[in-house]
């Protein structure tokens, strides 16, 4: 199992940048692929980004492609989400999640058995 804790959320203005971190406990972090999801009030939790266990492959939702970057440091048991050029529509609670095998279903929240508690990101216009 792995426990996940997100940090780095906050209130920013449109156009600003923010970096989220997700710290994982446990010795097997490098075995897990990691994802970031977000959920705005009244909306379903949606996929944002995914990174393979080695960090060699990444995928993004179209809405954040070119603005967000997912990365990981397996030596530090941490995955990051660098968010640039933030927009008001990026406002949501952001969650990191871990999965051991999703195949092509990396975008589906059902593929992830382990979740953090979430961190709020608010972007003002």
17-37 pLDDT tens trace: 999 999 999 778 999 999 999
DSSP 55: S
Strands 68-73, 3-7: pairing kind = unpaired
42-88 pLDDT tens trace: 999 999 999 999 999 999 999 999 999 999 999 999 999 999 999 99
The rounded distance, in Å, linking the Cα atoms of 79 and 4 is 10
């Amino acid at each position: 199992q792995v426990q996940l804790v997100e940090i780095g959320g906050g209130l920013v203005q449109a156009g600003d940048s923010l970096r989220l971190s997700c710290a994982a406990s446990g010795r097997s972090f490098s075995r897990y692929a990691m994802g970031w999801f977000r959920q705005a009030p009244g909306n379903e939790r949606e996929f944002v980004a995914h990174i393979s266990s080695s960090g060699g492959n990444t995928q993004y939702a179209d809405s954040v492609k070119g603005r967000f970057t997912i990365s990981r440091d397996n030596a530090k048991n941490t995955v990051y989400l660098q968010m640039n050029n933030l927009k008001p529509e990026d406002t949501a609670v952001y969650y990191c999640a871990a999965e051991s095998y999703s195949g092509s279903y990396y975008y589906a929240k059902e593929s992830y058995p382990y979740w953090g508690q979430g961190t709020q990101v608010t972007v003002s216009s």
